[in-house]
């Protein structure tokens, strides 16, 4: 009888320990992924912003696209600092490291920056489509005369998203509220239930923002695909005619922007799909929550890598730094 009892308890203990082992493995994977995404995303966005800053201040022509990409990288850095860094610290066991004000500031800035990133990506696509449009097209008239004309759009984006996310200031706390007031947690901060009136004011504004800017993004992307298809047919004609033809830099930039928009669409709609599934699910699914958090950081992490790989930004950045250093050393040696 004792042998049977010992065997029963050993088998029961193995059933209990197995989920714990799997949970420990998942926690380790979560720590590594959050740390990787935060570090790689921050370094990538800093590299992109520094490269375009050098091009902005060193070049004779101030290109609007460079200014928009700098602003997009800045918004992505704030997303990673407001969402990725606290999640990384919480995943590594540093909980309760934020007070009430810290929670409000970090989550509010991260949410505002995410909205700004959506708006800036839309502006990037529209401006690039206008730049590569034919000279006889009516869209050509909307081309920015100067890069400084872009700044009012940036101010509008920040004010718009700051107003849309204003409800977060009142619904975020660092201390766990009562069960009746509890909505969800963000591993380090808590969200309280909002009134129905606030919910029906904020939700339509978010939907309208995303519909307008993503609609503009989709229309501009389709227009660029049409222009690139015509350019491809023109290149085939010239190759058949044995004429040499090089792709203009504006069209190469348009190809990079389209890849960037594909990256945005993938991460945005995957995030929306997981958010919808989580809202419809009755139980607590930690795996889906972690995947949804990864998708939220996906665009901010991988969008600079798309630009670095597509345009060879690191090579250009190091070449510019080397040229400046060599000129400085030659000037110093002459003196």
Q: Which candidate, 307, 324, 256, places its Cα nearest to that of 49?
A: 307
User: What's the pLDDT at 78?
Assistant: 92
What would the mean pLDDT of 199-203 be, rounded to a whole number? Answer: 79
Q: Which candidate, 190, 208, 195, places its Cα nearest to that of 167?
A: 195
Q: How confident is the model at residue 14 (pLDDT cuts 50, 70, 90)?
A: very low
Instruction: Please tell me the least confidently modeled range out of 90-104, 114-128, 131-145.
Output: 90-104
* Rounded distance between C-alpha atoms, residue 214 and residue 6, angstroms: 62
Q: Where is pLDDT greater, at 13 or 66?
A: 66
- Of 35-39, 89-93, 176-180, 198-202, which has the strongest mean pLDDT? 35-39
Residue 130: strand, helix, or coil: helix
Q: What is the pTM of this model?
A: 0.79
* Rounded distance between C-alpha atoms, residue 43 and residue 36, angstroms: 11
Report pLDDT digits (tens) over 301-321. 998 888 887 765 555 555 555
Kindly state the percentage of the chain with pLDDT values over 70.
Answer: 69
Residue 304: strand, helix, or coil: helix
Architecture, CATH, for domain 21-310: Up-down Bundle (1.20)
E strands present in the chain: 172-173, 182-185, 190-192
User: What's the pLDDT at 139?
Assistant: 73
Q: Where is pLDDT greater, at 12 or 233?
A: 233
User: What's the pLDDT at 178?
Assistant: 54
* Rounded distance between C-alpha atoms, residue 303 and residue 123, angstroms: 15
Q: Which candidate, 45, 169, 36, places its Cα nearest to that of 91?
A: 36
Is the pLDDT assigned to residue 8 strictly greater than 60?
no
User: What's the pLDDT at 147?
Assistant: 72
Across the chain, mean pLDDT equals 76
DSSP-H helix ranges across 241-285: 249-280
Backbone angles phi, psi at 128, to 5 degrees: -65, -40
Domain limits of the chain? 21-310
Q: How many beta carbons lie within 10 A of that of residue 272, not counting itself?
A: 13
User: What's the pLDDT at 241?
Assistant: 56
115, 161 in Cβ contact below 8 A? yes
Q: How confident is the model at residue 115 (pLDDT cuts 50, 70, 90)?
A: very high
Is the pLDDT assigned to residue 11 strictly greater than 50?
no
Instruction: Please tell me the least confidently modeled range out of 65-74, 195-204, 205-214.
Output: 195-204
Report pLDDT digits (tens) over 127-150. 988 888 887 777 777 777 777 788
* Rounded distance between C-alpha atoms, residue 52 and residue 91, angstroms: 33
* Rounded distance between C-alpha atoms, residue 23 and residue 251, angstroms: 48
């Amino acid at each position: 009888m004792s042998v049977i009892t010992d065997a029963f308890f050993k088998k029961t203990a193995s059933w209990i320990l197995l989920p714990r082992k799997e949970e420990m493995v998942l926690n380790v994977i979560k720590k590594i992924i959050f740390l990787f995404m935060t570090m790689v995303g921050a370094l990538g966005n800093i590299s992109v912003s520094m490269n375009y800053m050098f091009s902005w201040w060193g070049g004779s022509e101030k290109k609007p696209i460079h200014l928009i990409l700098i602003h997009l990288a800045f918004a992505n850095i704030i997303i990673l600092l407001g969402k990725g860094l606290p999640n990384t610290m919480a995943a590594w066991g540093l909980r309760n490291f934020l007070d009430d004000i810290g929670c409000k500031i970090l989550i509010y800035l991260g949410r505002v920056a995410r909205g700004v990133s959506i708006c800036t990506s839309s502006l990037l696509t529209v401006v690039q489509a206008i730049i590569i449009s034919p000279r006889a097209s009516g869209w050509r008239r909307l081309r920015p005369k100067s890069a400084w004309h872009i700044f009012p759009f940036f101010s509008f984006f920040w004010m718009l998203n700051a107003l849309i996310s204003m409800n977060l200031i009142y619904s975020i706390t660092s201390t766990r509220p009562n069960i009746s007031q509890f909505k969800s947690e963000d591993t380090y901060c808590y969200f309280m239930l909002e009134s129905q009136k606030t919910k029906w004011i904020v939700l339509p504004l978010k939907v309208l923002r995303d519909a307008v800017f993503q609609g503009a993004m989709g229309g501009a992307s389709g227009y660029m695909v049409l222009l690139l298809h015509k350019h491809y047919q023109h290149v085939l004609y010239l190759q058949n005619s044995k004429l040499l033809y090089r792709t203009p830099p504006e069209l190469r930039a348009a190809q990079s922007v389209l890849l960037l928009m594909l990256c945005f669409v993938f991460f945005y709609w995957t995030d929306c799909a997981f958010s919808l599934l989580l809202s419809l699910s009755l139980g607590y699914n930690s795996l889906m929550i972690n995947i949804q958090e990864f998708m939220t950081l996906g665009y901010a992490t991988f969008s600079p890598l798309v630009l670095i790989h597509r345009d060879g930004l690191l090579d250009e950045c190091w070449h510019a730094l080397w040229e400046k250093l060599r000129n400085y050393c030659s000037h110093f040696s002459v003196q």
